[in-house]
Structure 1
Amino acid sequence: MVPPRSPAEWPGLDGAAERRFALLAAGDACIEVRAALPDVRFADLRADRLSYAPARAVVAGTAVNLARCAAGYFRRVGVLAKVGDDGYTPVIRGELRRIGADDHLLVDAGAPNGVSVMLRDRPHGGGPGVRLLVVQDEPPGRRLTAADVAGAASAIGDADVLAADGYSLLSPVSRAALDEAARIAGAAGTRVAFDLVPHDIDARLPASAVLPALARADAVFAEAPTLARLLGRPAPSGARAVRELLPVLDREVPGRPLWLLRFGPTSLEHALAYQRGRLLMEYPTGYRDGVERAGFGDRLASCELYWWLSGG
């Protein structure tokens, strides 16, 4: 069946009526402390501040976050990640069991698990607020090796899609692992989806370190401003400017990836689906004021992946 509507309409943001396909999420798995600060704006801080706010610790990381959402769409979901070896390790494994994800974790003996802190300040002018994300330097995911990935070849081959992300590019070791994962996926007929994060990746890596990962992918998720900056272009300010970026993608990135570009006031309100020379669709994502921002991108990516595999 070829769905006639946008991914946000079918299968939609709340899961699929029929769970199909298998997804393997390769990326980070860690512990994250999250809080939204109702009475603080980072720009106003001039001294130490105590703020009481809802705070929670969750199992997170790019692979876990995507798997948690994908479990509402896919018949089988797995997580491939390198984790530490401490008291948080059984907590991470327990969360994978809870969401029904296959455990392909690789334990880095004697190393601590990654810990991150995500704070969002008080919204200003109707926006979502500013996010401050502090990630432990050199988390276990940076040490995922090509040999680790080769050992998971059967899990990659059994998946319909391998979902990876740009955090793996930040270390030469995990970058080589990503190369190996894409090679194994290509040989097995598994599609590769790549999420262009972090959103300031253009300030962290030269385009030459990123473009090969985009060229190997069958589908690429990206915020249009991030992609434009990476390609040395001005950040697009609206739908027309995003469409003007499309010929640049065709020139700069070999292959025929399906581009799923997010844009809008906060780079999340609208999306555009494009594949070399062919604008497939523009659509509202469903994100707006009042919608929880944390996790929305993974919800959207999950429904877009299901839509894509279904023939969208």
Structure 2
Amino acid sequence: MATSRSPAQWPGLEGVDERRFELLVIGDVGIEVRASLPDVRFTDLDADRLCYAPARAMVAGTAVNLARCAARYFRRVGVLGKVGDDAFTPVIRGELRRIGVDDRLRVEPGAANGVAVMLRDRPCGGGPGARLLVVRDDPPGRRLAEREVRAAAAEIGAADVLVTDGYSLLSPVSRAALHAAARLARAAGTRVAFDLVPHDVDARLPADGVLPMLALSDLVISEAPTLARLLGRPVEAGGQGVRDLLPVLDRAVPGRPLWLLRFGATSLERVVAYQRERLLLEYPTGYGDGVERAGFGDRLAAAELYWWLSGP
């Protein structure tokens, strides 16, 4: 892996002219309503409030959000996920076609699609504002089954990288499917990348519900405080706190995964790239005041994945 330039420098966050590699992502797929409330702080609300603000509905979910960004870097991008069977289903499939992403969706007959509402309140003190994310409590993605993943073995084996995330760990059914997908990928020589979300996964799962997936991964993207809490370590935002975490990762997770640990005031400003007993790089991401937060993490992840696959 070349370590002289960071992913934010090359390939950068705007995509590439020469698209290479094939990426398959497993994750959530659904409908999301987003709005920012420029004149409202959640902590000030003590009664009903009507607020007019920019709002939009879009096809989203962890798999779609990453695929939309990855399509600017990768020669071929596919989404493997489970969706419902309602009026939103053709909208979802149409959006995948529009952004040039292969539709590997599994449809659950008679089920409703997942819906999420994301509200962000007025920034305070120069920060991005607080985010309230409300997600349907039983989306179809939680029922992606191991047999459905095994039926996609050829697609997994054809990809250069399989990208997964922690939302699939929250259900025993999709967790088994995720583990099966990672094992299929490793057997086929496909690299496995894992994004450790949600950021409060430590409050939702014990460490032993997460560590097996980390052990199956070749690359792990995580906010450093998330990993620290999961492993019962002090949470520190600064670079030294991240460095103190590195030997803990070596003891907790076998193998030699590449860790991309995000940290800073909002856990998005800087990244440490580390691989067992070797600090490869520390770099700024380009995130800061005036940069739109929504979608920035996926843009960064797409650039990081391309950078990683391009290394020796």
Give, in whole Å, the separation in 2 of the partners of 1:97 and 1:231.
40
TM-score by length of 1: 0.99
What residue number does 2:291 align with? 291
Give, in whole Å, the separation in 2 of the partners of 1:311 and 1:151.
31
Matches within 5 A, 1:113-128: 113-128=113-128
1:52 aligns with 2:52: yes
What residue number does 1:265 align with? 265
Question: Counterpart of 1:311 in structure 2: which amino acid?
Answer: G
1:95 aligns with 2:95: yes
What residue number does 1:7 align with? 7
CA contact (8 A) 1:3 1:310 kept: no
What residue number does 1:216 align with? 216
Give, in whole Å, the separation in 2 of the partners of 1:180 and 1:109.
23
Give, in whole Å, the separation in 2 of the partners of 1:175 and 1:224.
23
Give, in whole Å, the separation in 2 of the partners of 1:255 and 1:16.
31
Residue identity (%): 76
RMSD: 0.9
Runs of at least 4 residues off by over 4 Å: none
Query: CA offset at residue 18 of structure 1?
Result: 1.0
Secondary structure in 1 matching 2:81: strand
Query: CA offset at residue 2 of structure 1?
Result: 4.2
Give, in whole Å, the separation in 2 of the partners of 1:293 and 1:191.
28
What residue number does 2:106 align with? 106
Deviations 1:143-194 (A, max 9, x none): 0000010011111011000000000000000000001101110111000000
Give, in whole Å, the separation in 2 of the partners of 1:112 and 1:163.
25
What residue number does 2:180 align with? 180
5+ unaligned residues in a row in structure 2: which ranges? none
What residue number does 1:82 align with? 82
Secondary structure in 1 matching 2:307: helix
1:143 aligns with 2:137: no
Give, in whole Å, the separation in 2 of the partners of 1:152 and 1:74.
20
Query: CA offset at residue 237 of structure 1?
Result: 2.4
What residue number does 1:300 align with? 300
Secondary structure in 2 matching 1:9: coil
Secondary structure in 2 matching 1:59: strand
Query: CA offset at residue 236 of structure 1?
Result: 1.6
CA contact (8 A) 1:3 1:10 kept: no
Deviations 1:84-116 (A, max 9, x none): 000100000001001100000000000000000
Query: Structure 1 pair 86/226, CA: closer, same or farther in 2 (3 Å)?
Result: same
Query: CA offset at residue 3 of structure 1?
Result: 6.7
CA contact (8 A) 2:237 2:267 kept: no
Query: Structure 1 pair 3/94, CA: closer, same or farther in 2 (3 Å)?
Result: farther
What residue number does 1:129 align with? 129
Which stretch of the first structure deviates more once superposed, 1-10 or 279-288? 1-10
CA contact (8 A) 2:3 2:280 kept: no
Give, in whole Å, the separation in 1 of the partners of 2:49 and 2:75.
46
Question: Counterpart of 2:225 in structure 1: which amino acid?
Answer: P
Question: Counterpart of 2:70 in structure 1: which amino acid?
Answer: A
What residue number does 1:256 align with? 256
Query: CA offset at residue 74 of structure 1?
Result: 0.2
What residue number does 1:155 align with? 155
5+ unaligned residues in a row in structure 1: which ranges? none
Query: CA offset at residue 234 of structure 1?
Result: 1.1
Give, in whole Å, the separation in 2 of the partners of 1:64 and 1:274.
27
Question: Counterpart of 1:218 in structure 2: which amino acid?
Answer: D
What residue number does 2:189 align with? 189
What residue number does 1:237 align with? 237
Give, in whole Å, the separation in 1 of the partners of 2:154 and 2:4.
34
Give, in whole Å, the separation in 2 of the partners of 1:3 and 1:197.
26
Give, in whole Å, the separation in 2 of the partners of 1:4 and 1:100.
32
Give, in whole Å, the separation in 2 of the partners of 1:283 and 1:164.
24
